[in-house]
Structure 1
């Protein structure tokens, strides 16, 4: 099975992935005065802008007795990780063409390196949410342990999609721009700023089929509502993991099939 082989390849090269991800994280900000601080500043500014627009400008009311800032931040941080990791990993092979030329180099780890590099920033914002909850008098409990479950789900969703786009972009250069446009559309379709209950009832099942809905809602339930993932909607859980398995399987097959031609094209 191609997917199993790809996962074994990631495991065998785990140390190399870790080393390259740290190198990638540092290299993004080489030469800038504040260095890696910029990785945290930009998302923080975006959060403050969106908060000002919706909380101060539109005077958004608390959602289910939860302050809007908590409702919003707990939902947007998984999206930040997903969008950043997928967008950056789409170009992971082209940016490292010199490694592709090396016959013995495991090219399939390049998207993983980019996803893991984005994951470091995500962990900081997870910590940020915990601090924000404490500021509002909400203390962690055992339910927050399932955050690991949703971190894993988000990571592998990003990885599966990146396997597809990072291999296709070698042959179709517009792929990166298509991903960017898709992320902009999906951002507003995903219930981050609003509750899905605000949508027409007949449309809600369609929105729930989006993989990021499951993850965003999962983060929200973990941080704010103390719901275990199996308590809400088991059908949605099975649908998500079925979709994720399909994406990972398709991604691993496409990447392996096209990777034989990378060196020739690059």
Structure 2
């Protein structure tokens, strides 16, 4: 009960700083590209070029065929978009306290907002690419439907997952420098073990059960349910939905508690 009480105090503290979070998110988004000729435009250019390169490699180089009667570019887009959001957020939030070490010593500043700022800054770009998915599906002749709206639910689920993990990793990396390398390794491993370029339906059940331990499997399949399969999340695999939220809420709670307990020692190790 004590941990729960501390966690609720931590959440209330962050909520009180919501206006500060909004202002710092805008500042963080602008600061990334301050001084460059194209400015904020680069925020959208980098992911676009990366996605085009992946499309060229797999579609043109490996001559990937339509998957489940869907054009490969649409299949890939619905998976690579949430993965890039997750990957960028986890990398940026893991190092956010180190990058803003000068703020740690300011007693009036709530350090817990730093991961949130990084996530919201990346969310702006992610929403742009989600809207781009709608446009590209329209170009290919697929009209919007009610199922598309549940992408909002999956964006929310991704943010909760990242926030819990970011509180955990951003606090632990100050005491265990290897955390940064571990995160990079897990992201590289997860990139290929998540069904971004291939269909999980081709896997034997024993291997699929292992792949589904990855929470990003739920998110990526959710985006495809929203745009491709046209099914609501409560209609398919309810036990896996329960697993995802148990996993996510565990790390959301554990990350918040660990962050709050280690926060008084941050200034000592920076």
Secondary structure (helix, strand or coil) at the match of 2:206 reads coil
Match of 1:219 in 2: 223
2:242 maps to which of 238, 242, 259: 238
Secondary structure (helix, strand or coil) at the match of 1:261 reads helix
Residue 241 of structure 1, CA deviation: 0.2
Distance 2:200 2:119 in 1: 28
Alignment of 1:1-266 (within 5 A): 1=4, 2-266=6-270
Residue 173 of structure 1, CA deviation: 2.1
Distance 2:233 2:7 in 1: 26
Deviation sequence 1:207-238 (CA, Å, 0-9, x none): 11210000000011101121100111000100
Structure 1 stretch displaced more, 107-116 or 192-201: 192-201
Residue 261 of structure 1, CA deviation: 0.3
Is 1:209–1:236's contact at 8 Å kept on the other side of the alignment? no
Distance 1:185 1:95 in 2: 26
Secondary structure (helix, strand or coil) at the match of 1:260 reads helix
Output the TM-score relative to the length of structure 1. 0.97
Distance 1:140 1:8 in 2: 38
Deviation sequence 1:10-37 (CA, Å, 0-9, x none): 2211111111111111111111111111
Distance 1:162 1:235 in 2: 26
Deviation sequence 1:93-117 (CA, Å, 0-9, x none): 1111121111121111111111111
Structure 1 stretch displaced more, 136-145 or 171-180: 171-180
Deviation sequence 1:52-83 (CA, Å, 0-9, x none): 11111111111111111101001110000000
Is 1:115–1:159's contact at 8 Å kept on the other side of the alignment? yes
Distance 2:43 2:7 in 1: 32
Output the TM-score relative to the length of structure 2. 0.96
Structure 2 segments unaligned to the other structure (5+ residues): none
Is 1:157–1:244's contact at 8 Å kept on the other side of the alignment? yes
Distance 1:213 1:9 in 2: 32
